[in-house]
């Protein structure tokens, strides 16, 4: 850890890491990514979140996770979020408690803790024995992470709950470990169990498959994040006849001009990666929960295969394996997307593959909740964050069916290869590689399943982004009054496309998304909409 950041954190927090006192005067809110801001503002936040997680763990008598990361954001940012027992995002009413706890003035903190202690006691009334609960905590490679981890530990111990440090992990590895700790049928908690389960499934799904169009060579941009060292460990357990990886951006400046977000937004090659034509490349983000693919086409341009294309690839594979296994029509298969999904991906999945598509608000919890209503729920954000979840009904059917049926076997292995708890770049990468080999596809074959509608994404800085309000699915803007109408006029004047705006949940900006007839057209529309946002939010 760099000395200066420790000094700065120590100045703003307390020297003993507690940072119990609230030194900042603006409200913070527990959003889609938990609390996220400059690392120097976080010590007291993380201390309180550590305490909150400890109380949640005791309320349920289970293991709860605390992850310290700011994902694809710059090195000087950090964040903290809580993982619930099944490896999913924190339940909504505890998000409200978290916001209240963190914003409590110094003289209000005791009352908030007392209220949460009351919930703990209520939870324990229903239990046969007094459950203890524990907290698993992990962090990414940011300079501030270890310091903030210590603050979480102090917070958790402050409320008397056992704190277990899992050290440096990817975000999805923490989600996976929490799930395994509470549900050992899912797997073995910890890093080794994770590598074991994924690599066994990958090796079994890929062996003895002759795929002349598939090239086992992959170039990987690790965003200079935690995914670099962790994927090396995972790869060490994978048969080198099946997959070979050239690593780039392993130890440089975190997320700087590289990583999944950079490649997705700019649709260009990350710095430090010079891909030859047709070579399959992939990018993780800083905490390795997002994945995008890309390659250099015959004109030398960067072609992006984002979360939407990964979802379509997975949906096609699962559908054909379900059919081949003789299970057609027996289970509800569906895809879940957000308004950021490319319009042509939605049309392809819904109209060509005939798989129903649901659109929900931005944020993993919304996608996850919609997906678990299905037997096979494939959910992805366009930015490359997503996974597949399976119902118990489906899992029972594939594990109790005829074990000589190779397609049932493949589906079983597939449920082990994908990290059901949350979007996971390392697991998703192995899923994509498996499907490409099984389909005997090159990256161009995969890219050709549909053509993306030209699109553009911008962020607009405004005085107060919360004045922008939208409908539930975020496709229409309801406030400020008049903005939506003028935006629709712009779309018509522009000749085609669609546009929407929404306040970011993780950055102090309003996001603009447009689709148009060509890249330039989408960009012109996006800039015009951005001006509109500035005008209405002035």
Q: Cα separation of 524 and 487, whole Å? A: 13
Work out which of 71, 248, 249, 484 binds ligand NG1, going by CB under 6 A: 71
Contact 146, 397 (CB under 8 A): no
Among ligand NG1, Zn ion, none, the one that 340 touches (CB under a kind-dependent 5 to 8 A) is: ligand NG1
Q: Which long-range contacts (CB under 8 A, 24 or more apart) does 345-352 make?
A: 345/308, 345/309, 345/311, 345/312, 345/382, 345/450, 345/452, 346/308, 347/450, 348/312, 348/449, 348/450, 349/311, 349/312, 349/315, 352/450
Q: Give CA–CA dist 182/186, Å, rounded.
A: 9
Size of the site for ligand NG1 (CB under 6 A): 13
Q: Is 77 in the site for Zn ion (CB under 5 A)?
A: no
Q: Would you say 285 or 321 has its CB closer to Zn ion?
A: 285
CB atoms within 10 A of CB 173: 31
The reply to whether 439 sits near ligand NG1 by the rule CB under 6 A is no
Half-sphere exposure of 30 (CA within 13 A, CB side): 25
- Nearest approach, Cβ of residue 287 and ligand NG1 (Å): 9
Partner whose footprint covers residue 59, from Zn ion, ligand NG1, none (CB < 5 to 8 Å by kind): none
CA–CA separation, 67 and 160 (whole Å): 19
Site for ligand NG1 contains 193 (CB under 6 A)? no
504 marked as part of a ligand binding site: yes
Is 505 a known ligand-binding residue?
A: yes
* Contacted by 154, from ligand NG1, Zn ion, none: CB < 5 to 8 Å by type: none
**Selected range binding ligand NG1 among 101-109, 377-385, 435-443, 448-456, rule: CB under 6 A:** 377-385
Give the contacts of 396 (CB within 8 A, at least 6 positions apart): none
Is 506 annotated as belonging to a binding site? yes
The binder of Zn ion chosen from 289, 308, 375, 474 (CB under 5 A): 289
Q: Which 476-505 positions form the footprint of ligand NG1 (CB under 6 A)?
A: 504-505
Q: How far is the CB of 268 from ligand NG1 (least distance, A)?
A: 17
Complex with ligand NG1: residue 59 or 342, whichever CB lies closer: 342
Binding test (CB under 6 A) with ligand NG1, winner from 150, 381, 433, 515? 381
Site for ligand NG1 in 300-359 (CB under 6 A): 340
DSSP at 40: G
Residue of 311, 363, 362, 366 lying closest to 501 (CA atoms): 362
Residue 287 near which of ligand NG1, Zn ion, none (CB within 5-8 Å, type-dependent): Zn ion
Q: 285 is in the binding site of which of ligand NG1, Zn ion, none (Cβ under 5 to 8 A by kind)?
A: Zn ion
**H helical segments located in 267-391:** 307-324, 343-347, 364-371
Is residue 416 a contact point for ligand NG1 (CB under 6 A)? no
Residue owning tokens 């161009």: 444
Closest CA to 42 of 128, 142, 173, 175: 142
Of the candidates 279, 283, 278, which has an alpha carbon nearest to the alpha carbon of residue 293?
Answer: 283
User: Which of Zn ion, ligand NG1, none sits in contact with 56, Cβ below 5 to 8 A by type?
Assistant: none
The correct pick among 181, 285, 321, 375 for binding Zn ion (CB under 5 A) is: 285
Q: Is 455 a catalytic residue?
A: no
Q: Does 428 help bind Zn ion (rule: CB under 5 A)? A: no
**β-strands 162-168, 134-139: how paired?**
parallel
Q: Provide the token pair at 518.
A: 């060509």
Q: Give the span between the Cα atoms of 202 and 400, in whole angstroms.
A: 22
Catalytic pick from 2, 4, 29, 71? 71
Task: Please give the annotated binding residues for substrate, written as ranges.
Answer: 381-383, 502-506, 511
Residues that bind ligand NG1 (CB under 6 A): 32-33, 71, 340, 362, 381, 383, 385, 504-507, 511
User: Which sequence positions are flagged as catalytic?
Assistant: 71
Task: Please give the annotated binding residues, written as ranges.
Answer: 71, 285, 287, 289, 381-383, 502-506, 511
């Amino acid at each position: 850890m760099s000395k200066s950041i420790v000094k700065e954190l120590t100045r703003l927090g307390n020297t003993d890491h507690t940072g119990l006192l609230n030194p900042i005067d603006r409200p913070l809110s527990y959003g889609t990514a938990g609390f996220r801001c400059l690392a120097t503002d976080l010590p007291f936040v993380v201390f309180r979140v550590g305490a909150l997680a400890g109380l949640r763990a005791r309320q349920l008598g289970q293991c709860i996770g605390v992850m310290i990361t700011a994902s694809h954001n710059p090195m000087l940012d950090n964040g903290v979020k809580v993982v619930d027992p099944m490896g999913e995002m924190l339940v909504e009413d505890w998000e409200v408690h978290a916001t209240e706890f963190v914003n409590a003035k110094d003289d209000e903190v005791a009352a908030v803790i007392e209220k949460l202690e009351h919930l703990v006691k209520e939870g324990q009334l229903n239990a046969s024995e007094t459950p203890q609960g524990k907290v698993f905590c992990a962090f990414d490679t940011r300079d501030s992470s270890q310091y903030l981890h210590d603050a979480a530990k102090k917070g958790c111990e402050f409320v008397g709950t056992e704190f277990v440090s899992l050290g440096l992990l990817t975000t999805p590895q923490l989600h996976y470990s929490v799930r395994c700790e509470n549900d050992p049928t899912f797997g073995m908690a910890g890093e080794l169990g994770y590598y074991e389960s994924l690599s066994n499934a990958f090796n079994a799904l890929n062996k003895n498959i002759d795929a002349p169009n598939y090239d086992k060579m992959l170039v990987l941009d690790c965003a200079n994040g935690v995914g670099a060292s962790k994927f090396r460990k995972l790869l060490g357990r994978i048969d080198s006849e099946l997959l070979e990886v050239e690593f780039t951006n392993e130890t440089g400046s975190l997320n700087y001009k590289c990583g999944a977000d950079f490649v997705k937004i700019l649709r260009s090659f990350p710095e430090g990666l010079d891909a030859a034509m047709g070579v399959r490349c992939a990018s993780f983000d800083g905490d390795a929960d997002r994945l995008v693919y890309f390659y250099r086409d015959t004109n030398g341009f960067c072609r992006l295969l984002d979360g939407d294309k990964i979802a379509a690839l997975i949906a096609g594979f699962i559908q054909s394996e379900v059919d081949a296994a003789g299970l057609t029509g027996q289970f509800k298969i569906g895809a879940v997307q957000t308004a950021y999904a490319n319009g042509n991906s939605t049309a392809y999945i819904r109209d060509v593959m005939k798989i129903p598509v649901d659109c929900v608000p931005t944020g993993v919890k919304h996608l996850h909740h919609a997906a678990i209503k299905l037997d096979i729920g494939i959910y992805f954000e366009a930015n490359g964050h997503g996974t597949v979840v399976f119902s118990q009904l489906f899992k029972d059917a594939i594990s109790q069916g005829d074990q000589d049926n190779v397609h049932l076997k493949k589906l079983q292995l597939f449920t082990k290869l994908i990290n059901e708890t949350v979007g996971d770049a390392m697991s998703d990468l192995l899923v994509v590689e498996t499907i490409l080999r099984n389909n005997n596809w090159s990256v161009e074959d995969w890219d050709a399943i549909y053509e993306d509608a030209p699109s553009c994404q911008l962020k607009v800085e405004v005085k107060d982004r919360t004045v922008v309000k939208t409908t539930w699915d975020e496709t229409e803007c309801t406030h400020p009054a008049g903005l939506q109408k003028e935006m629709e006029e712009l779309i018509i004047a522009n000749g085609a496309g669609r546009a929407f705006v929404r306040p970011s949940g993780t950055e102090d900006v309003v996001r603009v998304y447009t689709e148009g007839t060509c890249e330039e057209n989408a960009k012109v529309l996006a800039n015009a909409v951005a001006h509109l946002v500035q005008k209405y939010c002035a």
